[in-house]
Structure 1
Amino acid sequence: MTAKIGILMLDTQFHRPVGDIGNQQTFPFPVVYKKIQGASISRVVNEADPTLLEPFIQASKELEEEGIKAITTSCGFLAIYQKEIQEQLTVPFFSSSLLQIPLAESVAGGPIAVITASKGNLSEAHLRGVHAHKSQLIVEGMDDMPAFSGAIIKEEITLDEALVREEMKQVIERIIKNNPTVRAIVLECTNMPPYKEAIREVTSIPIFDITTLVNYMYQLV
């Protein structure tokens, strides 16, 4: 089976369990990975470094030339460059699971809970990049969760899936308790889908993430 989906990967070292976009076994079809050298979590999430735009565009064009039919990324914060990258391609480009916010709001109603790797760094510019800046959102981050942030944001410790699972549950429980009218959840971070079963222990509302978007786009191309 020929791969149709290409995934632009950040330059990271942490373990990617099944469910993570960086694990081939997450998908029931082949995908092609291309790492952007130097595209660290710090430069993408903390700094929104504009000098990374050109390497992402170049890598996207390379995937397109290789016959890839649609391209995505391994970090939801690249939503800030959705328009700039998409305009350089002839194949569909979907930078972030945040693109699903308008869909989630349309089909489930609002407000929508957005769970992000770093609330402090998720700006209006990111939301504007995917036309979600006018949506009714409740944003919650993993900033104060040491197992998640230590392994994925800071890359200082080994990923402990059991601890991250419990942290995800804590965050979801907190947001649901404080906002009982939430109608759906969008997971910004591509490293969060492995913990959807844990989230399901806390809530039954719809969950949108990068894997739902990749699987959907695969059917279109």
Structure 2
Amino acid sequence: MIVRGGRAIYGESVGILVLDTKFPRIPGDIGNATTFDFPVRYKVVAGAKPQQIVATPDRARALLPAFIEAAKELEHDGVRAITTTCGFLTVVQDEIAEAVSVPVITSSLFLVPLLRRMLGPRRTIGVVTADAHSLSASHLRAAGIEPDWRLVIKGMESRPSFGTILGTSSDPEHALDVDQVRREVVETCLAMQAEAPDLGAFLFECTNLQPYAAAVQAATGLPIFGIYHVVNLLHSGAVAPGFAHGYL
């Protein structure tokens, strides 16, 4: 067998564009490499603060050159697909995808059209977001979501312990109360289920919510989808699994 080189590193299938953050990224968070069963490669986009990206679509567009440069660096490093740590980046999906030659999915919101097909148009999808006030029609439209679809959208922006993740906390140690966040996420999802009894599934827009998915599922009994599934989809497409150990 002959293999060819040309790079310094190998074996990282998915590249992840990371916002410029300081909060702890616990296992399950997209920014914790142990979340995945395969190697991933990270690239921090300097100056891309979550409170600014979430606040307005214009901020993501203003930082587009930095995102594109970072995506090209990931591709040069050998990744075979790219995603991001912020679901609000739907608004720059096309530009980043066109700038590189590998598949790009910037947000778990792109799963919503698929979920609608899975559940049928009469079932409601619960979208849990970092900030419901800032998740605009333009963010949803960029992900292929139509205004008349049955969605319940609730955000974590008013939850006290979530300020560390949003970047609005003044704590110099960026401490995260994991148990409290878990309770807050479960409470939010239970409220959504009470509001929409026909709720068929949750979609976590916020990439920091996956660590609490098991607790939400135990409380609600519903399927949960998010960026974790996007990364696994990208990996399984970019690196086709072998089945040498299967049997008939």
Q: What interval of TM-score do these two structures reach, taking the shorter chain for normalisation?
A: over 0.9
Q: Is the 8 A contact 2:217 2:224 kept in 1?
A: no
Indicate which of 80, 83, 87 corresponds to 1:72. Answer: 83
Task: Give the conservation status (yes or no) of the 8 Å contact 1:119–1:139.
Answer: yes
The match for 1:156 among 160, 170, 176 is 170
The number of equivalent residue pairs is: 220
Alpha carbons 1:10, 1:37 under 8 Å: kept: yes
Distance of 1:11 and 1:138 partners within structure 2 = 29
Could you give the per-residue CA deviations for residues 79-129 of structure 1, whole angstroms, max 9, x where no partner exists? Answer: 111112112221100000111001111112331110001001000111111
Structure 1 stretch displaced more, 130-139 or 110-119: 130-139
Q: Look up the match of 1:138.
A: 152
Structure 1 unaligned regions, length at least 5: none
Q: Cα distance, 1:67 vs. partner?
A: 1.5
Match of 2:40 among 18, 31, 36: 31
TM-score (norm 2): 0.86
Counterparts of 1:121-132 in structure 2, within 5 Å, are 121-132=134-145
| C-alpha distance in 1 between matches for 2:16 and 2:88 | 14
CA separation in 2, counterparts of 1:217 and 1:180? 32
Task: Name the structure 2 match of 1:85.
Answer: 96
Contact 1:14 1:155 in 2 (8 A): no
After superposing the two structures, state which structure 1 stretch, 131-140 or 10-19, moved more: 131-140
Write out aligned runs for 1:105-120 (5 A).
105-109=116-120, 110-120=123-133
What CA RMSD, in Å, does the superposition of the two structures yield over aligned residues?
1.2
Normalised TM-score (structure 1): 0.96
Compute the displacement of 1:155 (Å). 3.7
For the pair 1:213 / 2:224, whether they are aligned, the reply is no
Partner Cα distance (1:85, 1:165) in 2: 33
Deviation at 1:133, TM superposition (A): 3.0
Larger Rg: 2
Structure 1: which 4+ aligned runs deviate by more than 4 Å?
Answer: none
User: 1:43 matched to which residue of 2?
Assistant: 52
Output the CA distance in 2 between the equivalents of 1:156 and 1:194. 23
Q: Deviations over 1:145-189 (max 9, x none)?
A: 1111x2111143421100000001110110101111111110000
